[in-house]
Homo-oligomer: A and B are copies of this chain.
């Protein structure tokens, strides 16, 4: 706060100077006092100056509606919404979210620091405060080719940015436990700032060690027992309700008035249709209250607790000197934002961002899909044995099975066999234009014809393609190259449905509603190709992630995750 600004706030608070705006007759949800009380809120220069009795020329009479601090999402990958930051803001701000702490892990794996800076740049001039955590695990493993590699030396200058709050989820907990200097170096770089954890199932002595190293939160708890152990050891518990991982109802029994201060609400990954249908943090607050949680605790978890954890001293509460980020709603037990203020300005009303509030940044971003033309034999697999290692997809899960099956061989080549649901899978390196292609086989998708492909493939986001024949697979990759990234379903050489994701091959430049429609059409197309999985593109996106068991394919080859090493396609 500049000196003159602070003096103006003092004068507005004292009633010596007129407020820019007074919200009259608010039922203030006071997260400090843990109570609800009537008051006017006087706003000046994007801050709250006074809470009490105020008048001004510019007034909005809330007529006794509730006024709460704007919601804060403590951990979100905006990339998972598949839209740009401005469009993400357009989707979540009308829901009452005014601040998110984003981990740009996905775009950083594609574009490195350029990707992180792109998120920061496109966050400007929008009605959503987007803070960033410095990605801690780029690349996620040494078994794949990512678009970048971020060391402690890369992260340190990033952490000096006032919009960068700390170190993002430290997934590499073995690196922490074994005192890997490169890993501890990143924690050192962020010392004094929050260091987020990611340690599903870690417990006992190893959990103590992880906390002793400086890791301060976890959003991967799935049971009350796991969460209680982490809470007791001092970790902040981020209760997650994403699109895939949904832990809210399982973890709510953990929360008591005595420990709620250490709990936050986060979304992690929310897909377009869930953002549209359910909402964002407001959905978690509603669900928690509907499940019987004290509304005050639920709102504290969605506001003050996150502000305190991240050191955002001017957010998370309605009080003099805090940012006027505010949500208006009528029913505490079925909370739906009617009006949303950010920095003292009305930015959304009745579920819509007001006109002229969104200003998409004209930020140039280099194309991230760098693949040289593929030859017709790019996916050819010479038969080299009797027993083929096949990835077994499991519906609704990201773990896979290791299968050993006889190959179908045609002209000395192992080929897809739709009769037995053994499809060909390929990962095409897309960052360096190396021309590297790896191939394998996969069962469980049920595809009868055509091919599906995606430039969203965790965590390195190379292009992954699955098909009933090589020609359609090649056409699918070509379409992704043409779109500069995206999702596609191909039949007989032609795309029958696409979701263009030109931003890093991860995010659309279209509104959320458009992307949701495109995704619906894509899933319908995949079903027409014979796909039996509920969301084949979600399953596809995790087939390249070599930290989840059991058998995965990266651009560098087939990985037996249980042994953490490459294995040949044919056994023996």
Contacts and interface: CB of A to CB of B under 8 A. Distances in A.
A192 B192 CA distance: 14
Contact of A3 (B10, B47, B184): B184
Interface in A273-309: 294, 296-297, 300, 308
B258 A208 contact: no
A14 interface: yes
A232 interface: yes
A7 B262 CA distance: 26
Interface string A8-32: 0111111100000000000010101
Interface string A144-176: 000000000000000000000000000000001
Contact of A10 (B51, B209, B320, B322): B209
A50 interface: yes
Interface in A231-248: 231-234
A50 B258 contact: no
Nearest to A6: B213
A234 B188 contact: no
Interface string A49-87: 111110000000000000000000000000000000000
Interface string A31-58: 0111101000010000111111100000
B177 A10 contact: yes
| This chain's copy number in the assembly | 2
Contacts of A15: 205
B30 A212 contact: no
Given A3-B188, A232-B51, A258-B297, A205 B34 contact: no
A170 to B, nearest CB: 13
A206 interface: yes
Given A176-B10, A179-B10, A259-B33, A319 B233 contact: yes
Contact of A231 (B13, B32, B208): B32
Interface string A249-271: 00000001111011000000000
A495 interface: no
A50 B13 contact: no
Given A10-B177, A212-B10, A233 B320 contact: yes
Interface of A: 3, 6-7, 9-15, 28, 30, 32-35, 37, 42, 47-53, 176-177, 179, 184, 188, 192, 204-206, 208-209, 211-214, 228, 231-234, 256-259, 261-262, 294, 296-297, 300, 308, 313, 317, 319-322
Given A3-B184, A6-B214, A214-B321, 6 more contacts: A6-B213, A10-B177, A10-B179, A11-B179, A192-B313, A257-B257
30 contacts: A6-B213, A7-B179, A7-B184, A10-B176, A10-B177, A12-B212, A13-B209, A13-B212, A14-B208, A32-B259, A33-B232, A33-B262, A34-B257, A35-B258, A47-B212, A50-B205, A50-B209, A52-B205, A53-B205, A192-B313, A209-B320, A211-B321, A212-B321, A232-B319, A233-B319, A234-B319, A234-B320, A234-B322, A256-B257, A308-B308
